[in-house]
Amino acid sequence: MAILDIRVLGDPILRQATIPVTEITDEIQRLIDDMFQTMHHARGIGLAAPQVGRTERIAVVDVDDNPIVLINPEVVQPSSGKAKGEEGCLSIPDIYADVERPKDVVVRAMDLEGNEYEVEATELLARCLQHEIDHLDGRLFLDYLSVLKRTAALTKWKLEQGKYPGFIRRTALETPEERKRHEHPDEEL
Ligand code: K1U
Ligand code: ZN
């Protein structure tokens, strides 16, 4: 398994629609394993393939220790009731905002064995599933903000983005220990 680099705001791949998966190969299974490891390492509750530079329609989520694989997911039933809640994004580090979305959703997707399933979700899981499916359609939570709030978020992001040359967040090297191990692989910590 591997911790993958995460693409950040400004990388065009985050604005591209993804391509449905037609065959669940060993390579796709490895990608999904790596996505779980990357998401957990980054302390996220979801991760979509474009965030790790891939174009497949795949996402993973893990809310309340309930890991879910989503291959070719679609929201099939959004509730008419809406809810506002705070969102962050592993591709826009340190920027948070309240986003209004359908409160509950039914999502249809395929699992690792290629079996179709539906998940009925409420609260944080519903929000996270919608956030990840948005990534697969090239949408980001910033797109839902008022002009004023989006401008404020983008102004803050301009101050942050220099930390991510080439729009790459090297998640595996975010702690001083990880950086030291990378720079001096033969030294004991
Ligand atoms: O797709 C992503 O960028 C992951 C994102 C998912 C998400 C968080 C909050 C609401 C909706 C979707 C994150 O995990 S960002 C990390 C984070 O801010 C967070 C972690 C745990 C609970 C709440 C937020
Ligand atoms: Zn995100």
Cα separation of 46 and 38, whole Å? 10
Give pLDDT tens digits for 61-112. 999 999 999 999 999 999 999 999 999 999 999 999 999 999 999 999 999 9
127 lines ligand 1 (CB under 6 A): yes
* Structural domain contains residue 1: no
Residue 20: is its pLDDT beyond 80? yes
Residue 176: is its pLDDT beyond 80? no
* Structural domain contains residue 188: no
* Structural domain contains residue 189: no
Would you give the distance in Å from CA 179 to the centre of its chain?
A: 23
Amino acid at 177: E
Token pair recorded at residue 13: 């791949």
Q: How many domains does the chain have?
A: 1
SS3 label, residue 164:
coil
Residue 51's nearest CA partner among 7, 88, 93 is: 7
* Structural domain contains residue 56: yes
Nearest CA to ligand 1 atom 9: 87
42 lines ligand 1 (CB under 6 A): no
* Structural domain contains residue 154: yes
Domain that holds residue 105: 6-183
Which CATH number is 148's domain given? 3.90.45.10
Residue 89 Cα to ligand 1 midpoint, Å, equals: 5
Would you give the distance in Å from CA 113 to the centre of its chain?
A: 22
Give pLDDT tens digits for 31-49. 999 999 999 999 999 999 9
Q: What percent of the chain lies above the pLDDT cut of 90?
A: 89
* Structural domain contains residue 84: yes
pTM over 0.85, yes/no: yes
* Structural domain contains residue 92: yes
User: What are the backbone angles phi and psi of residue 88, rounded to the nearest 5°?
Assistant: -125, 180
Cα separation of 5 and 167, whole Å? 10
Cα separation of 34 and 48, whole Å? 12
Nearest CA to ligand 1 atom 22: 45
* Structural domain contains residue 46: yes
8-state DSSP, 186: T
For the chain, state the CA radius of gyration.
17
pLDDT value for 189: 58
Place of tokens 């539906």: 118
Residue 74 Cα to ligand 1 midpoint, Å, equals: 19
